[in-house]
Structure 1
Amino acid sequence: MTQEHRPPFLLGAMPILFVLLWSTGFIGAKFGLPYAEPFTFLALRVLATIAILVPMVLLMRMKWPQGPHLWGHVAVSGCLVHGAYLGGVFYGIYLGMPAGLASLLVGLQPLVTAALAGPLLNERLSILQWSGLVLGLMGVVLVLGGKMDLTALSFHDFGWPALACVMVALAGITLGTLYQKRYCTGMPLLGGTIVQYLGALVVFGLGSLLFESREITWSTTFVLTLAWLVLVLSIAAIVLLMLLIKSGEASRVASLFYLVPPVTALEAWWLFDESLPLASLAGMALTVIGVALTAKGARR
């Protein structure tokens, strides 16, 4: 279904639904990492996702990327969008970085994407867009700043390897979004997603073989968490992200990630009774305003 033929309510609901689904990734990491090491966990998640998507594509006779050239570009984008991003976030949290701080650091992506979209994609940002991006970043800082322990900022609770992992995640999701927008716009949605996951599986498989014991403690919690991450994150949310990247400017799509830390904070407050101070509520309001300004500037 082309963008022109999608119902207006669907176009409006896609960004909201994407943010709600994507925000559960940090919660899933917190539930699942006690039972499996990060790369092992992610490799199992990607394998399960591929096992579901391949029969769907074959039965529905959907297209695959055409030619080895496009296959290569799609696989590279998968290594960045899935491999570097998920691997970096999961391993950073596994090494002791608070999930809130990891979410905040990855939340810098819209500013980095906006800065790179101009020279790489010839997207010119307006003053309104830049104002929205900066305001959104201020909101993210307020949301999570009141929840973070100052000792964590001084690395008392984690080391430089955890910080390096999350920086790899930030670079991966930023470069992957730009790379896909430039080189993979012609890829079929589900067939291309499978190729992306195959690229990410190489990253996770090598990481698991080189750095981990590959042991899994099976439990009801782990199985339910894995099922959620596969069906909701790896399939539903990623398909939404691919549609959003295909139909919108890279900087506008990236601005949606500003909403992820506030929504994650609300979910953590509900599920884990984490505190949600007044500063965090004010930050959520700033974030929503910032995203609205960025999207409005992109439409102009």
Structure 2
Amino acid sequence: MRSHLASDKKLSSLGLTAMPGVFVLLWSTGFIGAKFGLPYAEPFTFLFIRFVLTLLALIPLVGLMRIAWPSSLRLWGHIGISGLLVHGTYLGGVFYAIYLGMPAGLAALLVGLQPLLTAACAGPLLGERLSSRQWLGLLLGLIGISLVLGSKLDMGNSLFEGFGVGALLSVIAALLGISLGTLYQKRYCTSMPLLSGAVIQYIAAGALLGVGALLFETREVQWSTTFILTLGWLVLILSIAAILLLMALIKKGEASRVASLFYLVPPVTALQAWWLFDERLPLLGLAGMVVAIMGVIMVVKRPRKAAY
């Protein structure tokens, strides 16, 4: 009996340890999915369809698993606001910035500032304290992202060539959305049921993006095998599996530590792009990966307690 209990405890511990890595792997496929899907639909329309399909998958699951809904209208409101920020504003801002001409690499680099912004806000808003080692890790992560993405930019052109103020404002809105959404959820939504809470978040985000599609887009979609498969991946893997993992990580960890995981997304995305699209990564980019990973380790790893 004891051996079975020890084995189960070990498996549970391994599962918790693997959660951040699995999240990074899944989350990084979002940019790949956007690259596959955006040629067939405008950004708000694309995201609205994705959220509708996600809700069609999640709502029956909540009923079958008999998962409770949030216990108060106040909590419903907080969850809806977090959904507007984490899903609607973040994804809508990134997709629309790329649609307006901003290079995907530059958009990812600007959104990659999220851990610094989250860490800076976590102190006054949540009372979290970062050590000097963790601040150094955050700085290394930012440098690593800059090296990875900067190595892929065409330095012969102006960094802001090809897009206007609208694209820049869109990606800044995305950065603020994911940063404030992470903090808001940590402060006000820690007691929410994960699956039913996700449904509320997607309803709020879908409503926002649906209005955006009505006001700013033609809502025309070119249905193809590639688009359908991309939608399937984004719905099942990104909108359900990865987001639930993110919520669980936020719930069990400090917001600044969870935010530091996003430093690993650009390097992993670059590896996937190399595999899928034969995009070569220069030595400078490889060095950036190493620096980013070092930064994440410095932020996430808890200091050992002294034995007395």
TM-score under structure 1 length normalisation: 0.96
Tell me, in whole angstroms, the C-alpha distance in 1 between the residues paired with 2:232 and 2:252. Answer: 29
Number of the residue aligned with 1:240: 245
CA contact (8 A) 1:129 1:297 kept: no
Equivalent residues of 1:33, 1:41 under 8 A apart? yes
| 1:174-253 aligned within 5 A | 174-253=179-258
Aligned residues: 297
Residues 1:44 and 2:52 are matched in the alignment: no
Does residue 58 in structure 1 map to residue 66 in structure 2?
Answer: no
Shift of 1:153: 4.7
Gaps of 5+ in 2: 1-8
Deviations 1:27-65 (A, max 9, x none): 111110110011100000000000000000001111111
The one-letter code of the counterpart of 1:242 is M
Looking at structure 2, the residues matched to 35 and 299 of structure 1 have their Cα atoms a distance apart, in angstroms, of: 51
Pick the aligned partner of 1:167 from 168, 172, 175.
172
The superposition leaves residues 79-134 of structure 1 with CA deviations (integer Å, 9 ceiling, x where unpaired) of 00000000011111111211111111111100000000000000011001101000
Closer/same/farther in 2, CA of residues 185 and 31 from structure 1, 3 Å limit: same
Structure 1 position 274, deviation (Å): 1.5
**Structure 2 equivalent of residue 71 of structure 1:** 76
Cα distance change of structure 1 residues 151 and 200 upon mapping to structure 2, 3 Å threshold: farther
Could you report, residue by residue, the CA deviation over 1:162-202 in whole angstroms, capped at 9, with x for unpaired residues? Answer: 11111111000000000000000000010000000011011
Of 249-258 and 259-268, more deviation after overlay is shown by 259-268
The partner residue of 2:125 within 120, 123, 135 is 120
Cα 1:5–1:71, aligned 2, differ >3 Å: closer, same or farther?
A: farther
Give % identity.
67
**Over residues 238-296 of structure 1, what are the superposed CA-to-partner deviations in whole Å (9 max), with x where a residue is unaligned?**
00000000000000000000000111111111111222000000000001110000012
In the alignment, what sits opposite 2:270? 265
SS in 1 for 2:39: coil
Residues 1:45 and 1:72: Cα distance change in structure 2 (over 3 Å): same
Query: Is the CA contact 1:152–1:158 (under 8 Å) kept in the aligned structure 2?
Result: no
Residues 1:133 and 2:174 aligned together = no
> Counterpart of 2:20 in structure 1: which amino acid?
P
Q: Does 1:15 align with 2:31?
A: no
User: Is 1:83 aligned to residue 88 of structure 2?
Assistant: yes
How many Å separate the matches in 1 of 2:25 and 2:98?
21
Distance 1:151 1:96 in 2: 17
| Structure 1, 156-165 or 108-117: larger mean CA deviation | 156-165
Query: In 2 relative to 1, CA 102–153 (structure 1 residues): closer, same or farther, beyond 3 Å?
Result: farther
2:74 is aligned with what amino acid? H
Compute the TM-score of the two structures, normalised by the length of structure 2.
Answer: 0.94
- Contact kept in structure 2, 1:129 and 1:298, CA below 8 Å: no
